[in-house]
Homo-oligomer: A and B are copies of this chain.
Amino acid sequence: MGSLANCRRRSQATTERVKVDLNADVGESFGVYHAGDDDHLLASITSASVACGLHAGDPSTMRRTVRKAAHAGVAVGAHPGFPDLVGFGRRELAATPQEVFDFVLYQIGALQAIAKSEGVRLQHVKPHGALYNMSARDKAMAEAIARAVAASDDSLLLIGPPGSELLRAGEAAGLHVVAEAFADRSYESDGSLTLRKFADAVVLDPSEAAARALRIVREKKVVARDGSTVDVNVETICVHGDTPGAAAIAAAVRAKLEDAGVTVRALR
């Protein structure tokens, strides 16, 4: 009896541990330009990071995206980026920390108001593209982002790479931070993502991405490009919205996780 209770507790504890959020970037269309397969992605993910108009997205796209996410029961977050529309926020820009603070706050606020008008409260913030990459290693930029998130709503979760300056800055700013791994990106043995210039940087095969996701959740590990094993301890798994076949990858990841008994649900 005692052992059964123990077993139950253990099982429950295990069950509690085996849950994960599945996030993707959405709302990256602009004006007449269509980007990403949001409708299908939203059927599989649990958290959506919405572009805020400076690197992608526009006010009308933002509203439509929030509405769709809410309709699909997907949590919504802000996905602020560099003010570089033609470069899609992927080019490093020597912005000052103060400028970063200001334009991140601006983007979060714009989405907050649009979300509010759709009856949605933002769950998280995740920087986009070069801003994500730079703030992972640049302390001053990381702090600027963390302060902007805290200033807009200190209950917002801050998503970033595990062990990054961004998450350290988020914690220092009193935010709840959330580490993420990528189901559709290859890793190096030091835990960094394989640079996109390498052919195998992106995992395009849905079943491979799904297998990687499951291993990340269950074993907290990924196999790096060189065959070594890297520890990853994360609460959310990202599928890039702009990877070709993103919706199919997200669907495969979700199915694989749920088939394995993992609870896939939003962060909050």
**Contact A106 B31, beta carbon cutoff 8 Å:** no
Q: Give me the 9 closest cross-chain CB pairs, A-B, nearest first.
A: A109-B113, A33-B33, A117-B151, A59-B102, A59-B106, A92-B94, A110-B110, A31-B86, A60-B102
**Contact A113 B108, beta carbon cutoff 8 Å:** yes
| Alpha-carbon separation in the docked complex, A87 to B91 (Å) | 15
**Contact B94 A152, beta carbon cutoff 8 Å:** no
**Copies of the polypeptide in the assembly:** 4
Categorize the interface residue count of chain A.
35 or more
**Contact A94 B151, beta carbon cutoff 8 Å:** no
Summarize A's interface: helix, strand, loop or mixed: helix
| Alpha-carbon separation in the docked complex, A181 to B110 (Å) | 30
Per-position 1/0 for A100-138, Cβ under 8 A of B: 001101111111111011000000000000100000000
- Complex A-B: 29 CB contacts under 8 Å: A30-B33, A31-B87, A32-B35, A33-B33, A33-B35, A58-B102, A59-B99, A59-B105, A60-B99, A60-B103, A83-B84, A83-B86, A87-B93, A87-B95, A87-B99, A91-B93, A91-B95, A92-B93, A93-B94, A102-B114, A106-B110, A106-B113, A109-B111, A109-B113, A109-B114, A110-B110, A112-B112, A113-B152, A116-B151
